[in-house]
Amino acid sequence: MDNKTQNADGIDFPFPFTPYSIQKDFMTELYQVLEAGKIGIFESPTGTGKSLSLICGALSWLRDFEQKKLQEEARLLETGAGSLHDEKNASPFPSSSCREAADGLRPAGEPDWVTQFVQKKEERDLVDRLKAEQVQRKKREERLQQIQHNAQLKYAAKRRRQEEEETESLLRLSREMLAARTGAEQPEQLESGEEELVLAEYQSDEERRPGSGADEDGDDLEEEHVTKIYYCSRTHSQLAQFVREVKKSPFGKDVRLVSLGSRQSLCVNEDVKSLRSVQLINDRCMELQRSKHEKKHGAEQEKPKRRRQEKQAACPFYNCEQMHLLRDEALAGVKDIEQLAALGKEAGACPYYGSRFAIPAAQLVVLPYQMLLHTATRQAAGIKLQGQVVVIDEAHNLIDTITGIYSTEVSGSQLCQSHSQLLQYMERYGKRLKAKNLMYIKQILYVLEKFVTVLGGNTRQNPSTQSLLRTGTELRTINDFLFESQVDNINLFKVQRYFEKSMVSRKLFGFTERYGAVISSREQPKLAGFQQFLQSLQPGAAEAPAAPADEGEARAPQPASPLMHIEGFLAALTTANQDGRVILSRRETLSQSSLKFLLLNPAVPFAQVVKACRAVVIAGGTMQPVSDFRQQLLACAGVDAERVVEFSCGHVIPPGNILPLVICSGVSDQPLEFTFQKRELPQMMDEAGRVLHHVCNVAPGGVVCFFPSYEYQRQVRAHWEKTGMLRRLAIRKKIFQEPKSAQQVEQVLAEYAKCIEGCDQAGGRVTGALLFSVVGGKMSEGLNFADSLGRCVVMVGMPFPNIRSPELQEKMAYLDQTLPRAPGQPPPGSALVENLCMRAVNQSIGRAIRHQQDFASIVLLDRRYARPSVLTKLPAWIRTRVDVKATFGSALAALRQFHREKSASS
């Protein structure tokens, strides 16, 4: 039986086991934040059951909220029905919203009977709406209960697919017989398969909403969105782990959960999925939906459409009836992305759209960061945040994530390639295109040419061989860049709409895919220059003719059309002038040069989320320093300080299970200060080696040593190898190094763990392993060094970001101009640099403690960590236990005693 915990406020939190006291506090505070409609910043160290606390706390609130809402609806329906049956009743309908509406509609001096009439109408409308919602809710609940308890209905989608396949097979045989009788069709003027490359007529500049894709069942998408919780995290693996936790929770059997993902994760059409590129998969999917709608509505028009449209096939998995069955099966039981994709494949229904159909009725929606934080993606998915709850987990990099989503970069090579491809496309199909298509294509060509010119290049020459006279990096405001590029007279909003509606990037990719490698002799004279240009961009391509790829052969991921990158860059240029910058990076050649859009104010897109939602929870294992979230995201988004609630809980480990040390001087009393100017000095690298050697002698099991950068790690290792320090370290610990390739991480970790396990069993001089890692690298986030895998974590220096980076300098200047400077505090720009450093440190040192019985020492090897301003930015559970050691001798004695006592008791 599920254990129920009742706190002082009388709230029942179902929990799968007896929760820790910090979990009770976490759930209570979370409940209060959601109830009061506030913004919560929650910090709960890894290993404290943060996911379960989020699940049980948030779903307990949702349970109580739904119960209160049902009770209120019943009361309103009862009161409303009474007033409607008794027209003589003088007392108005007791709804504050109705009274407010009536007061708002009533001008000064309006008669009372008019006010009463408005109130009566509001009453009727409200009662009708509540009755309709009740009927809809009852139908949904009955439908889901039938699926859950009836095995035959559970696999209805699969059976229906089998029936449709049999019918389609018979139809295909019939068509073949008819075709054999009537003979082959007359050949088209264009080559086979080439028709779909021609742009359709562009009707209007007015923006129209893309079709929902629901066809005759489109009313289902208009279903009222119930109050729900949107939970998002960074990766699909983290989301899958969260879904597994929901299944294990007391809410796992009853909650209506749907997992959302990208087309790349959920597409079950092998022809589309084989494109591999995210942008190509998206465009191809949209193109298939568009051809389906054109075929559906074509019969209604007197004039037949082009024959090329009749030839285009729609996606076989985009079947509304099947997707609605899939929607119900997804809501009937908790499923992660992989299970949803497998269910869609089995049922012959698109899980990408099927999951979107499930959003209105879902109580818990699980989705990646980008789908919620990117405005266009959120709207396309049918996500409505008004009055809803959003929980953003693993949010320590939230600001960087938003900045990255809305920042984009294009190279000189991409600009030239796009210009050449689009020019050849226009020459090939110019006579078939309508006037507006030609107008926009010429505008895009003009913009591309001007962007290349502003970099100092020429579109008529190979970008790889074009040397630029002027090199360096320059920053511009958006307006200054557009003016300098001489494109300030182009309406980029209209161009952006043209890209979206015409799908010109996709058409251009199909064109270059067809003619990029092999060109027929008939087209050789016209396209020779285009082929030569493409080959010049791919060294070695001209040495041997390209053979047609075998369909069954494994292919490398296809690169997206360069125009797709340009499309994103042009969209970014529509940002408000003060909220972004354009970075012109000129290198030796045009192909190496680039234009980059940098978003300076991530609060602009985040404000849309905060203003729409009832409550927002930003959670993570290490959220310190919190000031960035308060100032850069919330204050700039217009959130009042009173609405923000901070909660940070301690760790579940006993206080004596962690030993954080700040070591200010080395073995030879050399002050330890690994600044950028000093850290490459031989004496500093020698001192770090001597300290690490002593640490390896006293710490059992695994020792993880973090360096500020890959380059510094390489320099230190090379120096230690030269001086013999590496050989001395290897006497006690076998040395491993973080690989640069992500594919090798699992292998290195497996060998590292196997070595430590072998040493624990065998004994001997080698007591474990030493792992060299990099802050912000592949092993500083998302990996666990539990138990003997991480008995000591060493941080060499402070990993400050590159202060010379133009992006960082512009961001610092922007914050100095935008945010107020607190008395006695550094400027906001300088505080940003220190905050970025400490957030990276906190992520790295938190890898060692993973559960209640775990223990580890943390060595911060730099005297700057002893500064009060730095210490306050450590997580509270570490900060309260930090011991600053002025000399190395006292630090080594504390380390030896700690590990001796813990090893003896474990």
Do 731 and 642 share a structural domain?
Answer: no
Per-residue pLDDT of 712-734, as tens digits, reads 999 999 999 999 999 999 988 89
More confident position, 221 or 292: 292
Q: Domain range spanning residue 427?
A: 408-517+561-601
| Confidence (pLDDT) at 93 | 37
CA 256 to chain centre: 23
d(Cα 294, Cα 312) in Å, to the nearest integer? Answer: 10
The pLDDT of 159-181, averaged and rounded, is: 61
CA dihedral 154, 156, 159, 164 (to 10 degrees): -150
Do 572 and 630 share a structural domain?
Answer: no
Average of per-residue pLDDT values in the chain = 78
Do 449 and 492 share a structural domain?
Answer: yes
Do 618 and 504 share a structural domain?
Answer: no
Name the amino acid, one letter, at 583. Answer: I
Token pair recorded at residue 218:
């489109």
Do 439 and 565 share a structural domain?
Answer: yes
d(Cα 334, Cα 348) in Å, to the nearest integer? Answer: 20
* Residue 748 resides in a domain: yes
Name the amino acid, one letter, at 117. Answer: F
* Residue 173 resides in a domain: no
d(Cα 699, Cα 732) in Å, to the nearest integer? Answer: 10
User: Is the per-residue pLDDT at 215 higher than 90?
Assistant: no
d(Cα 838, Cα 854) in Å, to the nearest integer? Answer: 24
d(Cα 258, Cα 356) in Å, to the nearest integer? Answer: 9
Per-residue pLDDT of 440-478, as tens digits, reads 888 999 999 999 999 988 888 888 888 888 888 889 999
User: Is the per-residue pLDDT at 617 higher than 90?
Assistant: yes
Residue with tokens 């910043």: 41
User: Is the omega angle on the peptide bond into residue 19 within 30 degrees of 0, that is, cis?
Assistant: no
Do 664 and 576 share a structural domain?
Answer: no
Do 619 and 714 share a structural domain?
Answer: no
Least confident of 3-7, 625-629, 792-796, 841-845: 3-7
User: Is the per-residue pLDDT at 205 higher than 70?
Assistant: no
* Residue 208 resides in a domain: no
Q: Which helix (H) or strand (E) holds 595?
A: strand 594-599
| Confidence (pLDDT) at 516 | 62
Indicate the residue among 622, 648, 674 that finishes a domain. Answer: 648
Do 883 and 823 share a structural domain?
Answer: yes
What sign does the dihedral 335-341-346-351 (CA atoms) show?
A: positive
* CB-based contact 308:195 (threshold 8 Å): yes
Looking at the 3D structure of the chain, how many domains does it have?
3
* Residue 841 resides in a domain: yes
* Residue 664 resides in a domain: yes
pTM: 0.78
Confidence of residue 262 (pLDDT cuts 50, 70, 90): confident
Strand 364-368 to strand 257-259: parallel, antiparallel, or no bridges (unpaired)? parallel
Share of the chain above pLDDT 90, in %: 25
Do 624 and 491 share a structural domain?
Answer: no
The pLDDT of 776-788, averaged and rounded, is: 71
| Confidence (pLDDT) at 171 | 59
| Confidence (pLDDT) at 882 | 92
Confidence of residue 538 (pLDDT cuts 50, 70, 90): very low
User: Is the per-residue pLDDT at 334 higher than 60?
Assistant: yes
* CB-based contact 437:564 (threshold 8 Å): no
* Residue 95 resides in a domain: no
Residue 690, number of CB atoms within 10 A of its CB: 17
* Residue 282 resides in a domain: no
> What's the CATH number where 495 sits?
1.10.275
d(Cα 219, Cα 380) in Å, to the nearest integer? Answer: 17
d(Cα 668, Cα 687) in Å, to the nearest integer? Answer: 7
Do 691 and 819 share a structural domain?
Answer: yes
Do 876 and 813 share a structural domain?
Answer: yes
| Confidence (pLDDT) at 597 | 92
The pLDDT of 593-612, averaged and rounded, is: 91
* Residue 417 resides in a domain: yes
Do 627 and 575 share a structural domain?
Answer: no
Nearest to 895 by CA among 784, 794, 801, 806: 794
Confidence of residue 216 (pLDDT cuts 50, 70, 90): very low
| Confidence (pLDDT) at 482 | 92
